[in-house]
Structure 1
Amino acid sequence: MTLPLSRRLPRLVTALAVTASLAVLPGVSPAAAEPYVEAVAGPSVTPAIGWAQLGLSDRMDIIGANLPADVSVPVPTGVTPTLLTGEVGSIVNVTDGRVDVIDGRGVVLGVIPLPAGAISVPFTIDTSAAQVVDGRTRLSFVVRDTGPAATTCTQPPAVTLSRLATTFSGPAPDPTTVAGFLPGYLDHVVIRVDPAPSPAVAQAALDLVAKLTRLYRPMPVRIDVSTGAEPGVVSLQSLSGTTRVIDIRDGGRPGITVENPGTPAAVLAITGTGEQLATQVGLFTDRRLGLAQGNSATLVSSREASDVSSTVKTFGQLGISAQASVVGTTTLYTGFDAAAFGVGAINGAAVHLKAHYTPVVGGEGSVLVRSGDTVLATHSLDGSGTLDITGDIPAESITSNVGLAVELRYIPRQDCPPLSDRVTFSIDPQSTVTVRPGAGNRGGFAALPMAFTPDFDVAIDSPEHLRYAAAALNLIAQQTQITLRPRVTQLSDASSSGSSTLVVSGGRGLADAGMHPPLLPGAADTVDVGSAPSSAATTLVDLHAPLGMVQAFTDSGRAVVAVTGTGDWTLVDATLDHVRGLPNRWGSLTGDVVATGIAGETVTLSVSEGDSMPHQPAPGEGWQWWAWASIAAVGAAAVAAVATVLIRRRRA
């Protein structure tokens, strides 16, 4: 949660004192096709990927014995789900019990013990034998209990599984062919370009980042662009088997070639002149790469099918599905990716929910649909067995990942009926979500990535900063099903285009382009806080230390992400690494600024946008002092605790 500036002063003053004290301590010719050879046979294992990253709830409440709770886990191409991990807790009314984990064939994959009196116990289940059908593996969780059979008048057995995550594995051999260069799992891809890449090379590199990120989603593969000297010559001995290196070289015949095949030093070279490079990158649009089973290939022409943009999508198209069997009360948790519509930022949505359920005759049943704290609709369950209701999601509930909760209640007519007297409720995949495009939402980080789908501008002030744009793009693309389409342009052109923009620039470049970020870097180590034209006053802070920051804000009605810094730009790397380490990347952030100071402390601020709606009234003069304290705690932490801070107020 991002606290308002007025509530962060005690925490940040403490951080200033501690970190300031710590800071003073010492401190290519085409070759003939060759058969694909696995030079390294051992499989590579992913880190545990939380179910939230896979589009699932990472928590499951199981109520009642011998009643399966089902879930369908997506499995990316080329890998196998090997481990299921999590924690079991909230064990209620269970005598000598366990949870059986069963796949879609009815095969028991493993057992989770339920020790009496335990608060929370971690578990690991080997799922390597689980059946995978159409890219998904179905798992059922069933509580087994030796206690007496429960009724609705007694407390049934209940457990909670939380922090659910899946580990995948797959072969990552030293590649010999173009098709084999990208295995089912990687953890890192390095794209190398010249130290001063041309606009065509920059465009090809960012296109490749977007395509590879989409190709490996939902696995969060890190993709970096390196502008180091002499691409193709840098030593690869230190790289792991789950890292791949791709060179983009401006010049020569257009094509894609594996160099040093069958060795850890294998490199995939993409060559061509000007727009030919972007054409070759088109081979990575999807798994069509698997057709290139020699050690070289050339894409002669390409016309990619664009993602269909629409304001209306069905639940089936959005991947929303849920079913539950209920007696008493239960809640189905689901949601949708706002970026999947491909219309940019949205400021509202209408949900048309259809469902089928066991007809309720004699008993009482009801359903309540909500998004966050907003109730969208309520309805009684009756003898018809069908549900058809609508509800509106307001702007204050809109983020890039919109959650939906369906709360079900069923009370049988019979006194103390068995738990088998239940109602089964299933959401119809023909239910729809209709979105309203517009920027009038919470803004800030909550608008990522939806505001950048599918097309947006990228403006970079100097070639060596290409890697920052690539890192930000990689993190944005990890959060959406849509393949992003960046357009490299000049900052002067981007500022007048009206399109969403990713900017990598110093403060002068932002100011010259007429942009007004929440924090505008000035001369030396100064930062202008609250520089938006709507602000009655601004505050200029001399931090006496560098600062690296990423900001998400609205400028002239369009979304902007600005990657910028003062002085030491390695602090920008630290800020991006902080975002990369969060469970949901940008989705874990609120507010509109994330910044790292010289002492390495990263904080998140809400200067103008990204917090709860409706927005606060126009701030008074006291707000400027809270903003100063927050920013100073980040930037001045590395200097003496008595560092002098100069403040100048200006009237707009």
Structure 2
Amino acid sequence: MAVAPLFGTVTLPSAHAQPEPPGEVVLSFPTVGVSPRLELGNNVASEVNLPLPAGMSAVRLRGVIRDQANLGAGFLEVTDDNGTFLGMVEIPPRSARPAPLPFDIDISGARPKGSSLPLQFLVRTNDIPADCGPAQQLVVTDLAAVYSGDEPSPVTIATFFPPVLQRVTVVAPTDADPSEQQAVLTLVSTLTRLYNPQPVQVRVISSPRGTAPPPTGPMARAVVVERGSAGLAVEEAGNPGAFLRVSGRGDELTAQISLLDNELQSLAQVTRARVDQSASHQLPTGDTLTFSQLNLEGRAGVLRRSTFNIGVDRAALGGGRIAGVGVNLLADYTPVAGGDAAALTVRAHDTVVYTAPLNASGRVDATFDVPSQALTQRVALDFEITYTPGQECGPLIAPMEFAVDPRSTLQLVRGGPPLGGFGALPSEFSPRFYVAMDGSGQEQLGHAAAVVAAVSRATSTPMTPQVVDVKAAAEADSGALIVANSVAVEQTSLNPPIGGNRSAIDVGLPQNLRADIADGLGSIQVFADPPRDRTVVLVTTTDAWTLVDPLFGYLDGLAGGWNDLRGDVLAAGAAGTPVDLTVRAGGSDPFEPPNVVEHRAPWLGIGIGIGLAVVAVCTATVGLLLWRRRRTDAAERP
């Protein structure tokens, strides 16, 4: 394959991957929090900011050209943001291009900016840019970077958490008190949120007090949380075994983490610091919020068709449940001259909420409601603008500019019932929620931390856990995460979808199902608690705590994490096969009406009997459920 002969050399990867030279590491773009896919137009620059691990530089860029639409022969050119040429890949004629086309570009000459490397991608072809014809596009995927260098051991608090991080081990005492547990969970939530979209793995382990953490390796850190004199300290600073100690007593222990939560870590350019008074994030107040308050912005240059999306986390809309959202959309655009045609369409989760032609006024002032089915954990609006000039197509035609006015507003209708199912979070836990553990398992703090991390990764809004006992969490009127075995749960007034003890399993269908499943079930359940107007997450087991281990492994393996769970129960039996079940209404979609129980309940017989790979529930009740499912399926077929 020929490459840029005049300016740079591009190496095509061989069919058999070779190990990287010592001191080099390959990180895919998703690993550093960047999309691995680019959709490039002809002669339109796209910029990517590539994070740099501490002490390392990016030396090579790898990727695969997957597709080219309406583009002929040309080049994909890569520069830094100063215009320094780094390399280019030849794009062959469409008829001759094999698929896919991998490339490997030397980018060691790029000039970084702080802890990131800005890269510019530009497609140049022999084609005349299609001003009014079909869209021209080159798709690049599987982007990754080769980094070279040695990561230094942290010396100060300011440098302890680096720009790129893969793993964090949090060490808590085996006999951790509630203040230590709360500090651990707050730290887990904070680190997961601050590093998002980097998929940082935060793991909590328990060790005897005073035990040093295990070695961490490259792009990894260890933190010890333990009561003592208030402060943060880098122990073994400058050495490979360096770790951060977070200490204090009572509420002052969690207060130390606010140095990270408020992103002020960079000011602590010393090995030791102390927070005397913590500060908290302020969510927006009121029921009318401007796009500026919510950091919502969108603009596009339009010739033929252009799209963009703006949205906000439901959890970021302030305290209180949301039953409805109205929008007053303001926007400015290039006035449309006579003979030209332009239109705006706005969708909310595929539902058209506004459409209108654009005219010579150059201004949009529209009011519309977001339908209830679109009020998911992200309230998003998809904009589509079309513009067709009336004059003959040519290179002198300029695109129409369209920009959303930051004075646009969302009008919130507060209220509504508590939500059930995995889709109820994170908004039902914002801004504060309770956490309780019954102490029946040694890894309960780790289980609670895994749930907190998964939920925190789904939002940019800070969430504050507060550790209490099981009785207080069960009787509270705020969202709660409870980690307790089935015996402890039965002693509360909670009504989870699945309960029972050991092999006796109770399933909360409209007519209660009781089954005998050998060796019990482990489960993560999310259900509405109407008497207390809140949502509860329950991590429980009817037998050994090892039954829940496969559930967290399954959750870690989901590309979208918590957002990929669709039901209201994730359960596994002795075979360790997780199954995502919907037992009650509002499981897969917490905003749908409660008339779906009859369609979902019959599926449970197969979900437990086959999906969990445990002893089949061979009773007349299950036989009836299966018969009902066949009958329902037959009735639903056209």
Q: TM-score range by the shorter chain?
A: 0.7 to 0.9
Report the alpha carbon displacement of residue 389 of structure 1 after superposing the two structures with TM. 2.2
Preserved CA contact (<8 Å) 1:543 1:635: no
Q: Deviations over 1:209-248 (max 9, x none)?
A: 22222333332322222123455245x24x3132222222
Q: How is 1:23-422 mapped onto 2 (pairs within 5 angstroms)?
A: 47-49=28-30, 61-63=39-41, 65-66=42-43, 68=44, 70=46, 82=58, 88-101=65-78, 104-108=81-85, 110-111=87-88, 113-115=90-92, 116=94, 117-118=97-98, 121=101, 141-148=121-128, 150=130, 152=132, 154-161=133-140, 172-233=151-212, 236-237=214-215, 239-250=216-227, 252-299=228-275, 301-310=276-285, 311-343=287-319, 345-361=321-337, 362-418=339-395, 420-422=397-399
Aligned-partner Cα distance in 2 for 1:587–1:80: 33
Q: Which one is further off, 394-403 or 344-353?
A: 344-353
Q: TM-score, normalised by structure 2?
A: 0.81
525, 543, 547: which is aligned to 2:503? 525
The structure with higher relative contact order (CA 8 Å, sep 6+) is 1
Secondary structure in 2 matching 1:528: strand
Q: Which one is further off, 364-373 or 200-209?
A: 200-209
What is the one-letter code of the residue matched to 2:30?
I
Q: Does 1:580 align with 2:556?
A: yes
What is the one-letter code of the residue matched to 2:244?
L
Secondary structure in 2 matching 1:537: coil
Q: How is 1:526-545 mapped onto 2 (pairs within 5 angstroms)?
A: 526-529=504-507, 531=508, 535-545=509-519
Q: Deviations over 1:304-355 (max 9, x none)?
A: 1332233444434444333322222232233222222242543332233322
Q: Deviations over 1:361-398 (max 9, x none)?
A: 02000010001121121121112222222332222112
Preserved CA contact (<8 Å) 1:338 1:400: yes
Aligned-partner Cα distance in 2 for 1:466–1:523: 22
Aligned-partner Cα distance in 2 for 1:481–1:499: 20
Q: Residues 108 and 426 of structure 1: is their aligned pair in 2 closer, same or farther, counting only changes over 3 Å?
A: farther
Secondary structure in 2 matching 1:630: helix
Q: Does 1:617 align with 2:595?
A: yes
**Aligned residue pair count:** 590
Instruction: Report what 2:413 is aligned to.
Output: 436
Aligned-partner Cα distance in 2 for 1:578–1:223: 16
What is the one-letter code of the residue matched to 2:224?
D
Q: CA RMSD in A?
A: 3.6
Q: Residues 72 and 245 of structure 1: is their aligned pair in 2 closer, same or farther, counting only changes over 3 Å?
A: closer
Aligned-partner Cα distance in 1 for 2:400–2:465: 48
Aligned-partner Cα distance in 1 for 2:24–2:279: 33
Preserved CA contact (<8 Å) 2:284 2:293: no
Q: Residues 415 and 575 of structure 1: is their aligned pair in 2 closer, same or farther, counting only changes over 3 Å?
A: same
Instruction: Report what 2:9 is aligned to.
Output: none
Aligned-partner Cα distance in 2 for 1:354–1:163: 38
427, 447, 472: which is aligned to 2:451? 472
Aligned-partner Cα distance in 2 for 1:177–1:527: 53
Preserved CA contact (<8 Å) 1:400 1:587: no
Q: Which one is further off, 394-403 or 113-122?
A: 113-122
Aligned-partner Cα distance in 2 for 1:170–1:582: 31
Aligned-partner Cα distance in 1 for 2:359–2:115: 37
Query: What percent of counterpart residues are identical?
Result: 32
Q: Which one is further off, 474-483 or 434-443?
A: 434-443
Secondary structure in 2 matching 1:49: helix
Q: Does 1:555 align with 2:535?
A: no
Preserved CA contact (<8 Å) 1:353 1:431: yes
Instruction: Report what 1:499 is aligned to.
Output: 478
Aligned-partner Cα distance in 2 for 1:214–1:128: 31
Q: Deviations over 1:239-293 (max 9, x none)?
A: 313222222223x433333333332222322333333322333333334333433
Q: Deviations over 1:534-554 (max 9, x none)?
A: x53121232224433222222
Aligned-partner Cα distance in 2 for 1:165–1:587: 25
Report the alpha carbon displacement of residue 438 of structure 1 after superposing the two structures with TM. 3.8
Aligned-partner Cα distance in 2 for 1:510–1:321: 46
Preserved CA contact (<8 Å) 2:131 2:303: no
Report the alpha carbon displacement of residue 413 of structure 1 after superposing the two structures with TM. 0.6
